[in-house]
Structure 1
Amino acid sequence: MNTALILLFALILDALIGEPRWLWTRVPHPSVLMGRLIAEADTRFNLGDMRKLKGLLVILGLVVAMGLLGNIIAFFGWLPEILIVAILLAQRSLVSHVQAVGDGLRISLGDGRRAVAQIVSRDTAHMNKSDVSRSAIESAAENLSDGVIAPAFWFLVGGLPGLLIYKVVNTADSMIGYRTERHVDFGWAAARLDDLLNWIPARLTAFLIAATHHGVRHWRDIKQDAKLHRSPNAGWPESAMARALNIAIAGPRSYDGKLQDFPFVNPMGRKDLGPDDIDAASASLWRAWAVLVIFAVLLSPF
């Protein structure tokens, strides 16, 4: 069974089942295991001198280990591969978390704030309705790239080893890739490699969002707005989502009690956002997923 057909079954399985709570309350999720491994490496090796070199060696070791693990699992045939790929895709989980924010807002602002706090790292206590909605939509766009399109892309390119390597690098970036005093050196290699691995998927995600709405006639504007983002990749899907829904996202937000004045993406778009806009973003996620399914069908040996 080729990788496209395995991906097709995995996409459908993930869409149908998602992340079953009964399973992951009994056994650790593979991403959790990766996180524990990275946390242990951080504790053990992020000490003393030459932290940048140590971080580079750690990420190279993780890449080699995941490559070997992927080849071992693939040796046992297509069924384990389908299950692992479905587990490491996050389409249904992403939609559920994003939609929960819209559902919460329809109950109360407090419920919306609590729901969005589950998917963003910024301060949520003083957000208004538009802030909550904007944060959820940004998370939807960025995580469509990180959690669905990029894993699918790297599985098609490198099979299960490619997928596991991408996931461990992406997990490492989310844990040690920040430019804090502790991680600016040790996490440098993880952050740079994550940027590299997400370069094509981020732009592919933007293309899928644009193509399933108004076409790509706004591509030049999407490209310009993407440059406003501090990340070389995250701005692409966010900019495409903003243009697709004709809304302004990003903008000022607070981290650890400090307001940061980030520019708006698509600043001429609507800024008064609410649950209906979150619904539209969730629908956009499924549109991109549907195109990915069609692409997998076209690549499959039927």
Structure 2
Amino acid sequence: MVLDAAAGEPRWLWSRVPHPAVLMGRLINWCDVRFNKGNHQRLLGTMTMIELCIVAGAIGWLIEKAPGPVLDIIVLAVLLAQRSLVQHVQSVGDALRLSLGDGKLAVAMIVGRDTRDMDEAAVARSAIESAAENLSDGVIAPVFWFAVAGVPGLLIYKIVNTADSMIGYRTPKHDAFGWAAARLDDLLNLIPARLTAALIWAVTSRPDTRAILREAPLHRSPNAGWPEAAMAHGLDIALSGPRSYEGTTKDYPFVNADGERALSADHIDQAVGVLWKTWGLALIIALLLALF
């Protein structure tokens, strides 16, 4: 965790060799092209995910057979995303201070929704939502599964999470083939998402837990709503709400609807502070678990 926070994703390295997440993405894309056709797409997608998990677990098992902890440490550090997450989110705040147009360009790098008609508040809200969700997916969940099942657990989680981001969407192409990837990702994030919410709650103003427990399950995602609700109530801001995907407006309800809605770059700064505080608390817990 410390190595990732200090070094992040060094461009000099990953511009020369492919990042492991990129290799996972290429493998998943190959499977999508090769097997996502004909009949029985849900079955084929399920078998594909089983095989990907077996391959990832086997590679993790081989890595753990290496003498000493150095290789384990490197693999975990490479597959964590604390520093890169902070940099991407903070870049939106920095760009938004320059102009709304710069802010839209920056937030388009980290979210999949339409950005053309966003105002300042929508740009900031999108960046903060991405911060909360990716804190769980990119930091807490990998650490959790490494702690539970070592490098095999870490690699299985990462390939499932990558597959969900690529084929886990409810589109005509992937609704059936990506069904297993989406459901497995939901399962593997069940505990980490709620753990992330608890950590965010602990490092913010410790808002009324009843509000988080009430609103998180109403989110369109069974897991993303937990860190998002904790962030919204912890900073007393309104998140989620209406947004547009591929020209179609989705009228999602606000999380913490009574919170501040006129968001700005200053609120992004506050969210980045929460990212670091949550990381620090998670590091302390990891150290205590390792010692005792």
Q: TM-score range by the shorter chain?
A: over 0.9
Aligned match of 1:102? 93
Q: Which residue of the other structure, out of 105, 128, 140, is the alignment partner of 2:119?
A: 128
Say if 2:218 is the partner of 1:228: yes
**Higher deviation after alignment, 224-233 or 239-248:** 224-233
**Higher deviation after alignment, 265-274 or 292-301:** 292-301
CA distance in 2, matches of 1:58, 1:289: 34
Say if 2:159 is the partner of 1:168: yes
CA distance in 2, matches of 1:297, 1:152: 12
Aligned match of 2:52? 62
Deviation at 1:296, TM superposition (A): 1.4
Unaligned runs of 5+ in 1: 1-10
Using the size of structure 2 for normalisation, the TM-score is 0.98
Secondary structure, counterpart of 1:300 in structure 2: helix
Unaligned runs of 5+ in 2: none
Secondary structure, counterpart of 2:249 in structure 1: strand
Q: Which residue of the other structure, out of 185, 198, 205, is the alignment partner of 2:189?
A: 198
Say if 2:19 is the partner of 1:29: yes
Secondary structure, counterpart of 1:259 in structure 2: strand
Deviation at 1:268, TM superposition (A): 0.3
Q: Which residue of the other structure, out of 101, 107, 116, is the alignment partner of 2:107?
A: 116
Using the size of structure 1 for normalisation, the TM-score is 0.95
1:198 counterpart letter in structure 2: N
* Alignment root-mean-square deviation, CA: 0.9
1:132 counterpart letter in structure 2: V
Aligned match of 2:237? 247
CA distance in 1, matches of 2:64, 2:232: 39
CA distance in 2, matches of 1:300, 1:222: 30
Secondary structure, counterpart of 1:127 in structure 2: coil
- Say if 2:205 and 2:235, in contact at 8 Å, map to a contact too: no
Structure 1 segments (4+ residues) deviating >4 Å:
none
Aligned match of 2:246? 256
Deviation at 1:214, TM superposition (A): 2.0
Deviation at 1:169, TM superposition (A): 0.3
Deviation at 1:255, TM superposition (A): 0.6
Deviation at 1:300, TM superposition (A): 2.3
Give identity over the alignment, percent.
61
Aligned match of 2:84? 93
Secondary structure, counterpart of 1:254 in structure 2: strand
CA distance in 2, matches of 1:301, 1:268: 43
Secondary structure, counterpart of 2:269 in structure 1: helix
CA distance in 2, matches of 1:263, 1:287: 28
- Say if 2:57 and 2:156, in contact at 8 Å, map to a contact too: yes
Deviation at 1:41, TM superposition (A): 0.2
- Say if 2:129 and 2:239, in contact at 8 Å, map to a contact too: yes
Question: Counterparts of 1:2-21 in structure 2 under 5 Å?
Answer: 11-21=1-11
